[in-house]
Amino acid sequence: MTPPPEQPPVARPLGPLDSVLLRGVRVLGQGATDVRIDSGRIAAMGPGADDGTAARRVDVSGLVMLPAFVDLHTHLREPGGEDSETIASGTRAAAAGGYSDVFAMANCRPVTDTPRRVESITDLAGRVGACRVHPVGAVTTGLRGQSLAPIGGMARAGARLFSDDGRCVDDPQLLREALLASREAGTVIAQHAQCPRLAGDGQINAGPVADHTGLPPWPAVAEETIAARDVVLAAETGSPLHICHVSTAGTVAVVRWAKQQGWPVTAEVAPHHLMLTDRSAAEADPLYKVNPPLRSAADVTALRAALADGTLDAVATDHAPHPAHRKANDWCHAPFGMLGLETALSVVAEVLVTSGGGPDWARIAGVMSHQPARIGGITALAGRPLRAGEPATFTLIDPEADWRVDTGELHSLSTNTPFASMTFRNRVVATAVGGRLTHDRIDLLPLTAEKEPRR
């Protein structure tokens, strides 16, 4: 077996976790065991791990260890939106949420639509990031949907995923050309499936809550028609297509059908669509305004089932920070979007459960780590199995945390989370990337240890 490759370190770890024995940890939620970490790797796991060589032993009894998470859909806002988030703050939020890697969406100002802009985000993240950042390239120049951005050049600069997210690539011929260019580059197109004509000026899921609030309705077919069209284009071009933030039962059916045909289609779902319905928006509080909108209870049921049976491959946060004063506008003038990074695990652990009712930890590792790493083409780095010899890239979860979400404690610069003041049982308490701690609520680093200087 060839050893996994060396991993680039994150720019701003809290400190190294070296020659440490974690005692009583539940790897993938299984029975308590010991894990020894040395030189950035998992040195040993299981009954023989405590061979007396570890310089320090830490009792973490009851905590669950999962491979650190990968987010295919993060809005870090920098450059251009630093009043809502920066690469530094957004990656701190990611580390606090258990993430080792995030894919940073292209709808910055300026848009990430050239190789140089891909490199500049990579460079900045390499200096200030608390997790690894993978820039997403735009599909079309300026996200304008008119001409193809230089997909091959951006791929050579390191982009693995391409998306006009926030906008749909509406022109089918342009999307077809993008799929062909992406296939040539060995990358993936991620579509924000939303027909602009059918969505119109929609603000809220079409249905009783739209009728009650009088807000313009946003029909499910706006998403489903684009999804149906695009899986056919993926089949015809033989090029991988990823569907962003699936929100309706109809889109689930389209994805299921495409997979049954063996077409190269993957899909993600956001935590808020797995837990909240449009009824949350009955008071027209813009905190619940998101694109695509919160849907019906029947849609939530279909999304949960599709995540459990593998139709939906990944959970992706669509972390979309906005300054408080902009979210405080009336509904129609407030921006779309919600925070996601710091609450994703807590939400998913409540909705992805075994028949016994507890979190299905192995499947959570699949949808939050292994599968997003595979879709994003970073399996050499992230979403690796937890076993001896692998990089010590993991997250620790307290399954009895009883955590009440306090926006004052969040690491994001923004506070627009619909989960504020909600209580969750499971909470991420520590994250390590290649043996370096990036988040630590439980003092895994001894207080006396010399912490790495913060640059």
Smallest gap from Cβ 62 to Zn ion, in A, equals 37
Kindly tell me which of 192 and 295 has the beta carbon lying closer to Zn ion.
192
Q: Running DSSP on this structure, what letter comes out for residue 331?
A: G
Q: Of 16-24, 157-165, 264-272, 361-369, which part binds Zn ion (CB under 5 A)?
A: 157-165
Kindly tell me which of 132 and 245 has the beta carbon lying closer to Zn ion.
245
Kindly tell me which of 86 and 247 has the beta carbon lying closer to Zn ion.
247
CB 272 within 8 A of CB 418: yes
Q: Of 130-138, 184-192, 223-231, 409-417, which part binds Zn ion (CB under 5 A)?
A: 184-192
Kindly tell me which of 23 and 73 has the beta carbon lying closer to Zn ion.
73
Kindly tell me which of 165 and 278 has the beta carbon lying closer to Zn ion.
165
Report the residue from 117, 160, 192, 295 that binds Zn ion according to the rule CB under 5 A: 192
How many Å separate Cα 323 from the centre of its chain? 21
DSSP bridge partners of 137: 162
Q: Torsion-angle region of residue 24: left (phi > 0), alpha (psi -120 to 50) or beta?
A: left
Smallest gap from Cβ 244 to Zn ion, in A, equals 5
* Residue number of the CB atom closest to Zn ion: 192
Report the residue from 164, 165, 278, 398 that binds Zn ion according to the rule CB under 5 A: 165
Smallest gap from Cβ 233 to Zn ion, in A, equals 18
Give the Cα separation of 11 and 131 in Å (integer): 7
Number of other CB atoms surrounding residue 116 within 10 Å = 11
10 Å CB burial of residue 331 (0-12, 13-18, 19+) is: middle
- Tell me the CB-side half-sphere exposure of residue 396, using CA atoms within 13 A: 26
Asked if 268 is part of the footprint of Zn ion (rule: CB under 5 A), the reply reads no
Which amino acid type is present at position 17? Answer: L
Q: Of 42-50, 163-171, 220-228, 438-446, which part binds Zn ion (CB under 5 A)?
A: 163-171
Applying CB under 5 A, what is the total number of residues that bind Zn ion?
3
What tokens appear for 23 in the block?
A: 């005692």
Site for Zn ion in 243-262 (CB under 5 A): 244
| 318: annotated active-site residue | yes
CB 91 within 8 A of CB 131: yes
**Residue from 113, 278, 299, 318 carrying the catalytic annotation:** 318
Kindly tell me which of 42 and 243 has the beta carbon lying closer to Zn ion.
243
Number of other CB atoms surrounding residue 65 within 10 Å = 26
Helix residue ranges, H only, 214-365: 221-237, 249-260, 271-275, 297-309, 324-327, 344-351, 361-365
Kindly tell me which of 264 and 337 has the beta carbon lying closer to Zn ion.
337
Q: Of 6-14, 133-141, 161-169, 401-409, which part binds Zn ion (CB under 5 A)?
A: 161-169
Kindly tell me which of 243 and 307 has the beta carbon lying closer to Zn ion.
243
Smallest gap from Cβ 105 to Zn ion, in A, equals 8
Q: Of 82-90, 208-216, 241-249, 261-269, which part binds Zn ion (CB under 5 A)?
A: 241-249
Smallest gap from Cβ 246 to Zn ion, in A, equals 11
Q: Beta strand 132-135 with 314-315: parallel, antiparallel or unpaired?
A: unpaired
Kindly tell me which of 106 and 437 has the beta carbon lying closer to Zn ion.
106
What string of DSSP letters covers 137-206? BPSBGGG-SSSB--HHHHHHTT--EE--TTS----HHHHHHHHHHHHHHT-EEEE----HHHHTT--EET
x/- mask, Zn ion, residues 343-382, rule CB under 5 A, reads ----------------------------------------
Smallest gap from Cβ 296 to Zn ion, in A, equals 20
Smallest gap from Cβ 267 to Zn ion, in A, equals 13
Smallest gap from Cβ 61 to Zn ion, in A, equals 41
Smallest gap from Cβ 245 to Zn ion, in A, equals 6
CB 380 within 8 A of CB 407: no
Spatial neighbors of 42 by CB under 8 A, at least 6 apart, are 35, 36, 386, 387, 388, 389, 390, 391, 392
CB 382 within 8 A of CB 392: no
CB 177 within 8 A of CB 233: no
Catalytic residues: 318
Which residues lie near Zn ion (CB under 5 A)? 165, 192, 244
